[in-house]
Amino acid sequence: QKEVEQNSGPLSVPEGAIASLNCTYSDRGSQSFFWYRQYSGKSPELIMFIYSNGDKEDGRFTAQLNKASQYVSLLIRDSQPSDSATYLCAVASQSGGSYIPTFGRGTSLIVHP
Amino acid sequence: EAGVTQFPSHSVIEKGQTVTLRCDPISGHDNLYWYRRVMGKEIKFLLHFVKESKQDESGMPNNRFLAERTGGTYSTLKVQPAELEDSGVYFCASSQIGTPDTQYFGPGTRLTVL
Protein backbone atom coordinates (compact mmCIF):
# COMPACT_ATOMS: atom_id res chain seq x y z
CA GLN A 1 0.00 0.00 0.00
CA LYS A 2 1.47 3.31 -1.09
CA GLU A 3 1.50 5.88 1.69
CA VAL A 4 2.24 9.56 1.91
CA GLU A 5 2.72 10.99 5.36
CA GLN A 6 2.39 14.60 6.43
CA ASN A 7 2.21 16.27 9.80
CA SER A 8 -1.35 17.54 10.09
CA GLY A 9 -0.26 20.66 11.97
CA PRO A 10 -1.32 23.33 12.29
CA LEU A 11 2.00 24.91 11.49
CA SER A 12 1.90 28.49 12.68
CA VAL A 13 4.42 31.02 11.41
CA PRO A 14 4.59 34.81 11.60
CA GLU A 15 4.16 36.90 8.51
CA GLY A 16 7.43 37.25 6.62
CA ALA A 17 8.92 34.04 7.98
CA ILE A 18 9.81 30.87 6.09
CA ALA A 19 7.28 28.09 6.33
CA SER A 20 8.67 24.58 5.93
CA LEU A 21 6.31 21.74 5.07
CA ASN A 22 7.47 18.15 4.91
CA CYS A 23 6.25 14.91 3.43
CA THR A 24 7.54 11.35 3.34
CA TYR A 25 6.44 8.59 1.01
CA SER A 26 6.70 4.83 0.98
CA ASP A 27 6.90 3.90 -2.71
CA ARG A 28 10.51 4.01 -3.93
CA GLY A 29 9.26 3.79 -7.51
CA SER A 30 7.55 7.16 -7.29
CA GLN A 31 8.44 9.47 -10.13
CA SER A 32 6.52 12.68 -9.68
CA PHE A 33 5.99 14.80 -6.61
CA PHE A 34 3.44 17.53 -6.15
CA TRP A 35 2.35 20.17 -3.73
CA TYR A 36 -1.24 21.34 -3.79
CA ARG A 37 -2.73 24.21 -1.83
CA GLN A 38 -6.31 23.90 -0.66
CA TYR A 39 -8.22 26.72 0.92
CA SER A 40 -11.08 25.74 3.17
CA GLY A 41 -14.04 24.55 1.13
CA LYS A 42 -12.19 24.99 -2.16
CA SER A 43 -10.56 22.65 -4.65
CA PRO A 44 -6.90 21.62 -4.48
CA GLU A 45 -4.68 23.86 -6.59
CA LEU A 46 -1.37 22.62 -7.95
CA ILE A 47 1.42 24.99 -6.90
CA MET A 48 4.60 22.99 -7.45
CA PHE A 49 5.80 19.76 -8.98
CA ILE A 50 9.24 18.22 -8.99
CA TYR A 51 10.72 15.15 -10.64
CA SER A 52 14.45 15.21 -9.87
CA ASN A 53 16.47 15.27 -6.71
CA GLY A 54 17.37 18.71 -5.52
CA ASP A 55 15.56 22.03 -5.37
CA LYS A 56 13.08 23.66 -7.66
CA GLU A 57 12.17 27.29 -7.13
CA ASP A 58 9.14 29.20 -8.33
CA GLY A 59 8.72 32.64 -6.87
CA ARG A 60 8.40 32.37 -3.11
CA PHE A 61 8.03 28.59 -3.28
CA THR A 62 10.84 26.04 -3.29
CA ALA A 63 10.23 22.31 -3.57
CA GLN A 64 12.98 20.00 -2.37
CA LEU A 65 13.21 16.33 -3.24
CA ASN A 66 15.42 13.63 -1.75
CA LYS A 67 14.58 10.28 -3.28
CA ALA A 68 17.17 8.38 -1.23
CA SER A 69 15.48 9.50 1.96
CA GLN A 70 12.02 9.43 0.39
CA TYR A 71 11.01 12.88 1.41
CA VAL A 72 9.83 15.99 -0.30
CA SER A 73 9.44 19.40 1.24
CA LEU A 74 7.99 22.77 0.39
CA LEU A 75 9.47 26.03 1.59
CA ILE A 76 7.45 29.20 1.45
CA ARG A 77 9.54 32.34 1.82
CA ASP A 78 8.17 35.65 3.05
CA SER A 79 4.98 33.93 4.20
CA GLN A 80 1.81 35.96 3.87
CA PRO A 81 -1.53 35.58 5.64
CA SER A 82 -2.98 34.65 2.25
CA ASP A 83 -0.75 31.55 2.30
CA SER A 84 -2.84 30.20 5.16
CA ALA A 85 -4.32 26.99 3.79
CA THR A 86 -3.90 23.24 3.84
CA TYR A 87 -0.97 21.99 1.79
CA LEU A 88 -1.32 18.55 0.26
CA CYS A 89 1.64 16.48 -0.77
CA ALA A 90 1.02 14.00 -3.59
CA VAL A 91 3.29 11.36 -5.08
CA ALA A 92 2.75 9.56 -8.37
CA SER A 93 4.20 6.89 -10.56
CA GLN A 94 3.14 5.91 -14.02
CA SER A 95 1.35 2.63 -14.37
CA GLY A 96 -0.21 1.38 -17.58
CA GLY A 97 -0.73 4.82 -18.99
CA SER A 98 -2.18 6.24 -15.82
CA TYR A 99 -0.41 8.75 -13.66
CA ILE A 100 -2.27 8.45 -10.43
CA PRO A 101 -1.20 10.48 -7.41
CA THR A 102 -1.36 9.26 -3.84
CA PHE A 103 -2.17 12.11 -1.50
CA GLY A 104 -1.20 12.84 2.05
CA ARG A 105 -3.78 14.17 4.47
CA GLY A 106 -2.32 17.64 4.32
CA THR A 107 -0.65 20.10 6.64
CA SER A 108 -2.57 23.12 7.84
CA LEU A 109 -0.52 26.31 7.64
CA ILE A 110 -1.46 29.44 9.54
CA VAL A 111 0.43 32.66 8.81
CA HIS A 112 -0.37 35.24 11.45
CA PRO A 113 0.21 38.97 10.98
CA GLU B 1 -11.09 29.58 -20.00
CA ALA B 2 -13.64 27.83 -17.80
CA GLY B 3 -12.29 25.51 -15.17
CA VAL B 4 -13.52 22.09 -14.12
CA THR B 5 -17.11 22.30 -12.97
CA GLN B 6 -19.06 19.87 -10.85
CA PHE B 7 -22.73 19.54 -10.08
CA PRO B 8 -24.29 19.54 -7.60
CA SER B 9 -22.11 21.28 -5.05
CA HIS B 10 -23.94 19.54 -2.23
CA SER B 11 -26.20 16.52 -2.06
CA VAL B 12 -27.97 15.08 0.95
CA ILE B 13 -29.68 11.74 0.43
CA GLU B 14 -30.90 8.87 2.51
CA LYS B 15 -29.27 5.50 2.67
CA GLY B 16 -30.48 3.33 -0.17
CA GLN B 17 -31.17 6.18 -2.55
CA THR B 18 -29.37 6.88 -5.80
CA VAL B 19 -27.25 9.93 -6.54
CA THR B 20 -25.57 11.01 -9.74
CA LEU B 21 -22.68 13.43 -9.71
CA ARG B 22 -21.58 15.27 -12.81
CA CYS B 23 -18.22 16.64 -13.87
CA ASP B 24 -17.46 18.89 -16.83
CA PRO B 25 -13.73 18.95 -17.51
CA ILE B 26 -11.80 21.78 -19.05
CA SER B 27 -12.48 21.86 -22.77
CA GLY B 28 -9.93 19.81 -24.67
CA HIS B 29 -8.79 17.80 -21.66
CA ASP B 30 -8.96 14.13 -22.56
CA ASN B 31 -7.92 12.91 -19.11
CA LEU B 32 -10.62 12.94 -16.48
CA TYR B 33 -10.21 11.66 -12.94
CA TRP B 34 -12.55 11.07 -10.04
CA TYR B 35 -11.36 11.26 -6.45
CA ARG B 36 -13.04 11.07 -3.09
CA ARG B 37 -12.14 12.52 0.28
CA VAL B 38 -13.80 11.01 3.30
CA MET B 39 -13.75 13.25 6.36
CA GLY B 40 -10.45 13.07 8.18
CA LYS B 41 -8.82 11.01 5.46
CA GLU B 42 -6.71 11.76 2.42
CA ILE B 43 -7.97 12.30 -1.10
CA LYS B 44 -8.20 8.92 -2.79
CA PHE B 45 -8.25 8.06 -6.46
CA LEU B 46 -11.36 6.39 -7.85
CA LEU B 47 -10.88 6.15 -11.58
CA HIS B 48 -9.35 7.65 -14.70
CA PHE B 49 -10.87 8.17 -18.13
CA VAL B 50 -8.98 8.86 -21.30
CA LYS B 51 -11.62 10.29 -23.57
CA GLU B 52 -14.54 7.92 -23.21
CA SER B 53 -12.48 4.89 -22.14
CA LYS B 54 -11.81 3.82 -18.58
CA GLN B 55 -8.04 3.70 -18.28
CA ASP B 56 -7.89 2.74 -14.62
CA GLU B 57 -10.76 2.05 -12.26
CA SER B 58 -8.75 0.34 -9.56
CA GLY B 59 -9.90 2.84 -6.93
CA MET B 60 -13.62 2.24 -7.30
CA PRO B 61 -14.72 0.88 -3.92
CA ASN B 62 -17.40 -1.55 -5.10
CA ASN B 63 -19.99 -2.19 -7.77
CA ARG B 64 -22.40 0.35 -6.29
CA PHE B 65 -20.33 2.98 -8.07
CA LEU B 66 -20.69 3.45 -11.81
CA ALA B 67 -18.83 6.05 -13.82
CA GLU B 68 -19.47 6.99 -17.41
CA ARG B 69 -18.07 9.44 -19.87
CA THR B 70 -20.21 9.27 -22.95
CA GLY B 71 -18.68 11.01 -25.94
CA GLY B 72 -15.53 11.78 -24.04
CA THR B 73 -16.83 15.05 -22.67
CA TYR B 74 -18.57 15.28 -19.32
CA SER B 75 -18.60 12.42 -16.87
CA THR B 76 -21.11 11.13 -14.36
CA LEU B 77 -20.55 9.12 -11.22
CA LYS B 78 -23.58 7.25 -9.96
CA VAL B 79 -23.85 5.71 -6.53
CA GLN B 80 -26.64 3.16 -6.26
CA PRO B 81 -27.68 2.36 -3.59
CA ALA B 82 -25.88 4.85 -1.41
CA GLU B 83 -24.51 3.76 1.96
CA LEU B 84 -23.49 5.84 4.97
CA GLU B 85 -19.78 5.30 4.28
CA ASP B 86 -20.14 6.90 0.85
CA SER B 87 -20.36 10.31 2.46
CA GLY B 88 -17.51 12.61 1.56
CA VAL B 89 -16.35 15.11 -0.99
CA TYR B 90 -16.08 13.85 -4.55
CA PHE B 91 -13.58 15.71 -6.68
CA CYS B 92 -13.16 15.59 -10.39
CA ALA B 93 -9.96 16.63 -12.13
CA SER B 94 -8.88 16.91 -15.73
CA SER B 95 -5.65 17.21 -17.63
CA GLN B 96 -4.38 17.28 -21.17
CA ILE B 97 -2.93 14.26 -22.91
CA GLY B 98 0.85 14.60 -22.66
CA THR B 99 0.68 16.57 -19.42
CA PRO B 100 -1.08 14.11 -17.13
CA ASP B 101 0.70 15.44 -14.10
CA THR B 102 -0.94 18.82 -14.30
CA GLN B 103 -4.40 18.03 -13.07
CA TYR B 104 -6.93 20.78 -12.53
CA PHE B 105 -9.44 20.05 -9.82
CA GLY B 106 -13.07 20.96 -9.70
CA PRO B 107 -14.71 22.42 -6.60
CA GLY B 108 -16.06 19.05 -5.52
CA THR B 109 -19.46 17.67 -4.61
CA ARG B 110 -20.12 17.19 -0.93
CA LEU B 111 -22.25 14.07 -0.54
CA THR B 112 -23.97 13.33 2.73
CA VAL B 113 -25.76 10.02 3.14
CA LEU B 114 -28.11 9.90 6.12
Write the secondary structure of chain B as one string of H (helix), E (strand) and C (coil): CCCCEEECCEEEECCCCCEEEEEECCCCCCEEEEEEECCCCCEEEEEEEECCEEEECCCCCCCCEEEECHHHCCEEEEECCCCHHHCEEEEEEEECCCCCCCCEECCCEEEEEC
Nearest to A46 among B44, B103, B106 (CB): B103
Return the number of other C-beta atoms located less than 10 Å from residue A35's C-beta: 23
Give Cα A38 to chain centroid, integer Å: 11
Cβ distance A100 to B102 less than 8 Å, yes or no, reads: no
Contact B103/A at CB under 8 A = yes
Smallest CA-to-CA distance from A107 within A13, A27, A17 is with: A13
Smallest CA-to-CA distance from A51 within B91, B102, B44, B105 is with: B102
Which residues of A fall within a CB distance of 8 Å from B55?
96-98
Contact B25/A at CB under 8 A = no
pLDDT at A96: 65
Which residues of A fall within a CB distance of 8 Å from B32?
none
pLDDT at B1: 64
Contact B83/A at CB under 8 A = no
Q: Which of residues 50-79 of B touch A (CB under 8 A)?
A: 50, 55-56, 59
Instruction: Examine residue B61 and say whether the peptide bond preceding it is cis (omega within 30 degrees of 0).
Output: no
In chain B, the residue whose alpha carbon lies closest to the alpha carbon of A2 is: B44
pLDDT at B2: 79
Cβ distance B42 to A104 less than 8 Å, yes or no, reads: yes
Task: Kindly give the confidence (pLDDT) of every residue in chain A, 113 residues in length, as a single tens digit, with 9 standing for 90 and above.
Answer: 789 999 988 999 999 999 999 999 999 989 899 999 999 989 999 999 999 999 999 999 999 999 999 999 999 999 999 999 999 999 998 766 677 889 999 999 999 99
Cβ distance B107 to A102 less than 8 Å, yes or no, reads: no
DSSP A4: E
Which residues of B fall within a CB distance of 8 Å from A49?
101-102
Nearest to A100 among B4, B48, B105 (CB): B48
Cβ distance A44 to B106 less than 8 Å, yes or no, reads: no
Q: Which residues of chain B have pLDDT under 50?
A: none
pLDDT at A75: 98
pLDDT at A2: 82
pLDDT at B98: 75
pLDDT at A44: 94
